[in-house]
C-alpha cells in the first residue's frame, strides 16, 4: 500500500509542477497557436435571474400584439367570450348587491374581492384573471406540440373553464329571487 500511495503522490506532484511551468502566450493569436481558447460566456449564468420574467414579459407582449392585430381568430373569439361572460357575472352580481343588502359574495372569489365588492374590485380582479388566462391559452396554443391530437384542445382549457364558471354564475345571479313584488321600487 505504501508503494502505491508513494507512486500516486509522485504522479500528482509531477503533473502539478509541469502544469505550472507552461509558458504563457503573449497575445490571443499565440494563445490559439498554443492550443488555448478564450472562455466565452454563454450568458446563461448572467441572465438566469431575469430569464423567467423576460420570458413572461415577452409572452404578454406577443399576446397583446396578437389580440390587437386579430392574428388568431379562434383564440380571439374565446377571449372575447370570456370577457363577455365575466362582465355579465359582475353586472348581475352588482345588480343583486344594490337591491339586496343581505347578499354576500361566496366561493373562492370572496377571498379575492371580498364579501361585498364594488365595481373597482371586480374590474381589477377581472382584468388580472382574463389577462393571465388569455396569456396561458396563447402560450399553450403557440408553443405546444402541435402534432399531438390532444394538444389541439388543451390550449382552450384555461379560458373555457373560466367562461363556463362566469356563465354559470351570471345565470345563477339572474335567477335569484330578491323578494321583490311587482310594485316594489327596489326591483327596477
Cβ neighbours, 10 Å, residue 1: 5
**Is there a domain that residue 15 lies in?**
no
pLDDT tens by residue, 5-47: 666 666 666 655 554 555 555 666 665 666 666 666 665 555 6
How large is the average pLDDT for residues 105-130?
89
Q: For residue 169, which of 83, 77, 90 has the smallest C-alpha distance?
A: 90
Above 50 in pLDDT, residue 101?
yes
**Is there a domain that residue 105 lies in?**
yes
Above 70 in pLDDT, residue 178?
yes
> Domain limits at 61?
51-173
Q: For residue 143, which of 132, 127, 133, 154 has the smallest C-alpha distance?
A: 154
**Is there a domain that residue 130 lies in?**
yes
Cα 75 from Cα 141, distance rounded (Å): 8
Please tell me the pTM assigned to this model: 0.68
Q: For residue 159, which of 145, 178, 140, 175 has the smallest C-alpha distance?
A: 140
**Is there a domain that residue 11 lies in?**
no
Total of domains in the chain: 1
**Is there a domain that residue 36 lies in?**
no
How large is the average pLDDT for residues 69-82?
92
Amino acid at each position: 500500500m505504501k508503494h502505491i500511495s508513494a507512486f500516486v503522490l509522485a504522479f500528482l506532484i509531477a503533473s502539478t509542477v509541469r502544469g505550472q511551468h507552461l509558458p504563457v502566450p503573449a497575445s490571443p493569436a499565440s494563445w490559439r497557436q498554443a492550443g488555448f481558447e478564450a472562455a466565452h460566456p454563454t450568458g446563461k449564468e448572467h441572465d438566469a435571474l431575469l430569464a423567467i420574467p423576460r420570458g413572461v414579459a415577452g409572452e404578454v407582449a406577443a399576446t397583446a400584439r396578437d389580440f390587437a392585430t386579430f392574428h388568431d381568430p379562434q383564440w380571439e373569439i374565446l377571449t372575447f367570450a370570456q370577457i363577455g361572460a365575466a362582465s355579465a357575472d359582475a353586472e348581475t352580481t352588482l345588480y343583486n348587491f344594490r337591491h339586496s343588502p343581505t347578499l354576500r359574495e361566496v366561493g373562492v372569489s370572496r377571498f379575492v374581492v371580498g364579501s361585498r365588492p364594488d365595481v373597482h374590485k371586480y374590474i381589477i380582479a377581472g382584468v388580472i384573471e382574463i389577462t393571465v388566462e388569455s396569456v396561458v391559452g396563447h402560450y399553450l396554443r403557440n408553443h405546444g406540440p402541435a402534432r399531438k391530437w390532444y394538444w389541439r384542445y388543451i390550449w382552450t382549457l384555461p379560458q373555457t373553464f373560466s367562461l363556463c364558471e362566469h356563465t354559470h354564475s351570471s345565470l345563477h345571479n339572474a335567477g335569484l329571487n330578491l323578494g321583490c313584488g311587482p310594485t316594489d321600487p327596489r326591483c327596477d
